[in-house]
Amino acid sequence: MTEFSGMAVEEVAVGSNLRVVPQQARGRDKVARLLAAADRVMAAEGVEAITTVRIAAESGVSVGSLYRYLPNRDAIIESLARHYLTLLEQRMDEVGLELAGTSGDVVGLSIDAFADFYRDHPGFRALWFSRHLTEETREQDRAHKLAMAHRIRGLLVERGIGRHDESTLRFAQTIQLTADALIQEAFRMDPRGDAVLLAHLKTMVRSYLLEMAAESSDH
């Protein structure tokens, strides 16, 4: 089931639109199979191909069982979005641990890590590049972006850039929003990520961090 394990289902269930949160392993397995099938269909054919009947058939789960957990098409999309945003935040935490104490190219390594995420998750690309994001999904994304900015601020403070204050959070939000938009555009241009645009992004963020570091040293 790869990513769509029982643990992933539990993460999706938090604040999600699951009609019933499965308590037993068999129920969690059904939801995991449904999400895995939806992800496969979305990656291959786009969000437009997702219907409750199609996902039930692809997963081998009855339509009745699907409706027990996922009441409609929007609930499927929102559950997948929550899953992917959780994975991105987990990847950010992993990057922080990987970069702890390193004096290497922090910006390059960080951007490469998230570019790899886009390469490795075609379902995520299909979802985020579509016109079918629900308002609930957009709200999830807004909360996710703020959570990522807080994580970036933590990394900056660890490196002696800024403080745990609103000003540094604004710097972090600028980095997060810029990187998010340009990485998305790089993968809209090329399924493997446009190398030139990603390189320019790294240059931009490095320059911005130099400005931030200089401003921090003046205080």
DSSP notation for 34-54:
HHHHHHHHHHHH-GGG--HHH
Asked, for residue 89, whether it belongs to a domain, the answer is: yes
User: So what's the pLDDT on residue 42?
Assistant: 95
Asked, for residue 1, whether it belongs to a domain, the answer is: no
Asked if residue 84 and residue 69 are part of one domain, the reply reads no
Provide the domain limits for residue 49.
6-73
Asked, for residue 211, whether it belongs to a domain, the answer is: yes
Question: Are 183 and 198 within 8 A, CB to CB?
Answer: yes
Asked if residue 207 and residue 102 are part of one domain, the reply reads yes
pLDDT (average), residues 67-90: 91
User: So what's the pLDDT on residue 29?
Assistant: 87
Cα distance between residue 200 and residue 86, in whole Å: 27
The two structure tokens encoding residue 175: 């980095």
The helix, strand and coil proportions of the chain, stated in percent and rounded to the nearest 5, come to 75, 0, 25
Does 159 or 207 have the greater pLDDT score? 207
Res. 152 pLDDT band, cuts 50 70 90: very high
pLDDT (average), residues 87-115: 89
Asked if residue 58 and residue 115 are part of one domain, the reply reads no
Cα distance between residue 50 and residue 56, in whole Å: 10
Domain boundary (51, 73, 95) is at: 73
Asked, for residue 88, whether it belongs to a domain, the answer is: yes
Query: Which of 42-56, 99-113, 132-146 is modeled with the greatest confidence?
Result: 42-56
Phi/psi of residue 40, each to 5°? -60, -45
Asked, for residue 209, whether it belongs to a domain, the answer is: yes
Question: Are 99 and 28 within 8 A, CB to CB?
Answer: no
- Closest listed residue to residue 86, CA positions, set 9, 180, 169: 9
Residue 87 CA, chain-centre distance (Å), reads: 6
Q: What is the CATH number of the domain that holds 55?
A: 1.10.10.60
Q: Minimum mean pLDDT among 10-14, 32-36, 149-153: which range? A: 10-14
- Name the DSSP letter for residue 104: S
Residues of the chain above pLDDT 70, percent: 88
Name the H helices within 100-194: 106-120, 122-128, 135-158, 166-189
User: So what's the pLDDT on residue 4?
Assistant: 67
Q: Is the pLDDT of residue 181 over 90?
A: yes
Asked if residue 86 and residue 67 are part of one domain, the reply reads no
- Name the DSSP letter for residue 161: S
Asked if residue 110 and residue 85 are part of one domain, the reply reads yes
pLDDT (average), residues 16-26: 70
Say how many domains are in the chain: 2
Cα distance between residue 205 and residue 105, in whole Å: 12
Q: What is the CATH number of the domain that holds 198?
A: 1.10.357.10
Residues of the chain above pLDDT 90, percent: 64
Reported as a single tens digit per residue, the pLDDT across 113-133 is 999 999 999 999 999 998 878
Cα distance between residue 127 and residue 132, in whole Å: 8
Asked, for residue 146, whether it belongs to a domain, the answer is: yes
User: So what's the pLDDT on residue 25?
Assistant: 79
Asked if residue 68 and residue 170 are part of one domain, the reply reads no
Domain boundary (33, 58, 73) is at: 73
Mean pLDDT over the full length of the chain: 88
Asked if residue 201 and residue 131 are part of one domain, the reply reads yes
